[in-house]
Amino acid sequence: MADNQINYSVRTDLAVEAKDMYVEKEQEKKPNIKGVEIQNHEEKGIRVSYVKIDEEGAERLGKKAGNYITIYADGVKNQDTKSQENAAGVLASELEKLLELNHVPENGRGLIVGLGNWNVTPDALGPMTTEKILVTSHLFQLEYEMVSVGYRSVGAVTPGVMGVTGIETSEIIVGVIEQFKPDFVIAIDALASRSIERINETIQLSDSGIHPGSGVGNKRKELSKETLGVPVIAIGVPTVVDAVTITNDTIDFLLKHLGNEWNNKDRPFQALVPGGFSFGKKKLEEKDMPSLEQRKTFLGMVGTLSEEEKRALIKEVLTPMGHNMIVTPKEVDGFMKDMAHLLASGINAALHEKVDIDNFSSYTR
């Protein structure tokens, strides 16, 4: 998350997620872009989407080539232990595939980097996950003959954020990498979400590198295979959202809802409010969005704005008053604990042949 406590900005987080969002939209709307391969998949009730962008697609989309994988894991939100275990299993197998795609050798040495600020609970996902990582590289060094088959060498660091260390986070990571010389890097971070639905729900993997911290000026350093020479896998989970997004999403839900009522019930809008709504549990689809004419009726000029314009307007209203708060669900403490456990379970199982999700608890206190 944003590395700079002084000039706090949500931009940095969005850098990662925006990419992903963009890809997701592509996935839904233009399934046949050249240079972009899209697949979907479901396993044990966990939905997974894959987007592969090659160099041609990268230029076309204006974003980095690489593999982008999104796991939809609502087990944490719903406090469903079984579903959390399933998601950890899916994460493990997706991570294994991604390491293979990046030609990481089976015994390759890994460095786990827990990004974020351990003093700020919704930003502590990286450090909290790292705390539960099964660390082994010192054993390989100290008494290599004792380390049993089925484990690989893994180290883990939590570099902190610039507001706490005073040091560019990327500099700390580069310093450690130069000494530790890993064969691959996995970086875990909490993200800012662009949608209220995704908070504490989606787990996003990619191999296109990370940009930790806010950086000085525009010199934000990319850490990626290009700059470090070894694959860099990013694992991100949205844990916060801003008031602009909440309002924007709600206005969209409102429009869809009103459109739905209008069409299905054939009764004038004015009748709706006093009598209450019989609106059910089902999620509103894109197709529910009412026509421009209806939108104008429902929401006036605001209803006619494009997505971009609407966001810009809300931001313009909230920001000067200091009301564009970045918020996190009230239950943040429990969510972070469960999500950190889920991520660590998945990573440990992916990295060590001898570890699987079931026996994981014996590896953590």
Contacts (CB under 8 A) with its own copies, residues 297-356: 297-303, 305, 309, 312-314, 316-318, 320-321, 323, 325-334, 337-338
Q: How far apart are the C-alpha atoms of 172 and 170, rounded to whole Å?
A: 5
Counting contacts by CB under 8 A, is residue 283 touching its own copies? yes
For its own copies, the binding residue among 7, 32, 148, 218 (CB under 8 A) is 7
CA R_g for the chain: 22
For its own copies, the binding residue among 28, 42, 254, 267 (CB under 8 A) is 254
Q: How far apart are the C-alpha atoms of 215 and 119, rounded to whole Å?
A: 20
Report the residue number, 49 or 153, with the smaller CB distance to its own copies.
153
Q: How far apart are the C-alpha atoms of 239 and 326, rounded to whole Å?
A: 10
For its own copies, the binding residue among 20, 24, 168, 183 (CB under 8 A) is 168
Reading the block at residue 235, the tokens are 């694992």
Q: How far is the CB of 42 from its own copies (least distance, A)?
A: 21
**If DSSP codes are grouped into helix, strand and coil, which group holds residue 37?**
strand
Counting contacts by CB under 8 A, is residue 32 touching its own copies? no
Closest CA relative to residue 132, chosen from 79, 185, 188, 197: 188
- Which string of b and e fits 192-217 if b means at least 16 CB within 10 Å? bbbbbebbbbbbbbbbbbbbbbbbee
What phi and psi, each to the nearest 5 degrees, are found at residue 31? -70, -5
- Identify the DSSP state of 10: S
Count the site residues for its own copies by CB under 8 A.
104
From the list 31-39, 58-66, 225-233, 292-300, the region that binds its own copies by CB under 8 A is 292-300
For its own copies, the binding residue among 39, 40, 81, 263 (CB under 8 A) is 81
Counting contacts by CB under 8 A, is residue 160 touching its own copies? yes
What phi and psi, each to the nearest 5 degrees, are found at residue 133? -75, 140
For its own copies, the binding residue among 43, 54, 96, 197 (CB under 8 A) is 197
Report the residue number, 39 or 359, with the smaller CB distance to its own copies.
359
Match 């050798």 to its residue by tokens: 105
Reading the block at residue 113, the tokens are 């980097």
* Site pattern 169..188 for its own copies (x: CB under 8 A): --xx-xxxxxxx--------
Q: How far is the CB of 55 from its own copies (least distance, A)?
A: 31
Report the residue number, 63 or 341, with the smaller CB distance to its own copies.
341
Counting contacts by CB under 8 A, is residue 216 touching its own copies? yes
Q: How far apart are the C-alpha atoms of 309 and 305, rounded to whole Å?
A: 6
Measured CA to CA in angstroms, residue 195 lies from 243, 262, 265 at distances of 11, 25, 29
Q: How far apart are the C-alpha atoms of 257 and 303, rounded to whole Å?
A: 13
For its own copies, the binding residue among 18, 21, 147, 246 (CB under 8 A) is 246
Q: How far is the CB of 67 from its own copies (least distance, A)?
A: 27
Chain residues 91-130 in contact with its own copies, contact rule CB under 8 A: 119-123
Report the residue number, 41 or 265, with the smaller CB distance to its own copies.
265
Residues forming a β-bridge with 113: 157, 187
Report the residue number, 39 or 81, with the smaller CB distance to its own copies.
81
Report the residue number, 67 or 193, with the smaller CB distance to its own copies.
193
